[in-house]
Amino acid sequence: MEPCTKEMLNRVASLSSDDVRFRNQARDEPELTYVEKMDIVSKVLHTPSNFLFRFGPYLNSADLEHFEQFSGDPDVAHQLQDLRKQLNSDRMRTLIRNRRFASIDSLTTAGYFDESEMQRRDPLLYEELVEKHMTPEEKLEVQRLRDIRERAEKRDSEQRHPFADILMESLIEKPEVDAYRERQREKEQGQTQEEEKDTSDEEGDAEDESTEIRKKVDSLHLESTDRAEPPEVPLDDEERALLREEFRQIMQERFLEGKDSDFLDYGAIDQNAALDRSDEFLRDEEDRYFDDEEPS
């Protein structure tokens, strides 16, 4: 037996019976031994088409070369063609994912994974995981920056001012806007007080008629309060940081899965051979990446 063939049989026989059906077994039957599995695969190898049918999904491209000598059998030829297509498809998926993974650092440097950019790509997820747990002051700042971005995008589409000009303009305008809002608040409060004074005389005659209605409304309000869920307990800084990290992780995984086609050109990444790195390097990088994702 050729060394490569023996290595192939050894690899298949080392698989678990839970993953590979070596023979019909009852549920409570113990796991086959390595010797028993090696005996089975060696015997099945005498019928190449049957071997490919049963164990083909666990073979690599070098293993398939062994069966080329039997390709005169139409069944063997057909199975070899299908298995090679599957191998090529799996290999291409792995290559593409590796290239996308290798591009994360440069995309991060370019700002693609900045919080504001990720928020723009999925505002609902951002609101659920991050913004919902912000302080009122933080929410106001997020809204202010969102307004700035929308204005910048609108002006960019009109080929007018770039984003930096809009940002500087907003910083200059902010004190004036705050002062204007304060004046508006004072004006509205004054109008409210005047309206209350004007209507106080008119309310006297209707007071008796509305007493019963108010009682019913108060009763309904108390019932609603009794049924209401307790308010959410605010999260501490560590919990908020974990949710913010979860949001970033979800957005990076979405990029790796190819779900960001509305926001970037995947072709420029997937077809870029310069991103190819050694398998060992990629394994080390992925280990580091997923270690970083785990909360401390």
Instruction: Give the C-alpha separation, 42 to 50, whole Å.
Output: 12
Find, among 79, 21, 19, the residue nearest to 48 by Cα. 79
Q: What residue has token string 């026989």?
A: 13
pLDDT at 172: 47
Q: What residue has token string 């605010």?
A: 234
Half-sphere exposure of 138 (CA within 13 A, CB side): 8
Answer yes or no: is pLDDT of 231 > 70: no
Give the other-Cβ count within 10 Å of 183's Cβ: 10
pLDDT at 39: 93
Own/partner contacts of 166-173, CB < 8 Å, gap of 24 or more, are: 170/144
Domain layout of the chain by residue ranges: 3-94, 115-195+236-263
Instruction: Give the C-alpha separation, 240 to 120, whole Å.
Output: 19
Instruction: Give the C-alpha separation, 14 to 236, whole Å.
Output: 49
Instruction: Give the C-alpha separation, 71 to 69, whole Å.
Output: 6
Q: What phi and psi values does residue 208 have, to the nearest 5 degrees?
A: -65, -40
Confidence of residue 241 (pLDDT cuts 50, 70, 90): confident
Question: Which residue spans within 49-118 are E strands per DSSP?
Answer: none
Angle formed by the axes of helices 3-13 and 34-44, nearest 10°:
130
CB 277 within 8 A of CB 102: yes
pLDDT at 257: 92
pLDDT tens digits, one per residue of 209-230: 556 655 655 665 555 555 555 5
Answer yes or no: is pLDDT of 249 > 60: yes
pLDDT at 32: 86
Q: Mean pLDDT, the chain, as a whole number?
A: 77
pLDDT tens digits, one per residue of 43-83: 999 999 999 999 988 888 888 988 999 999 999 999 999 99
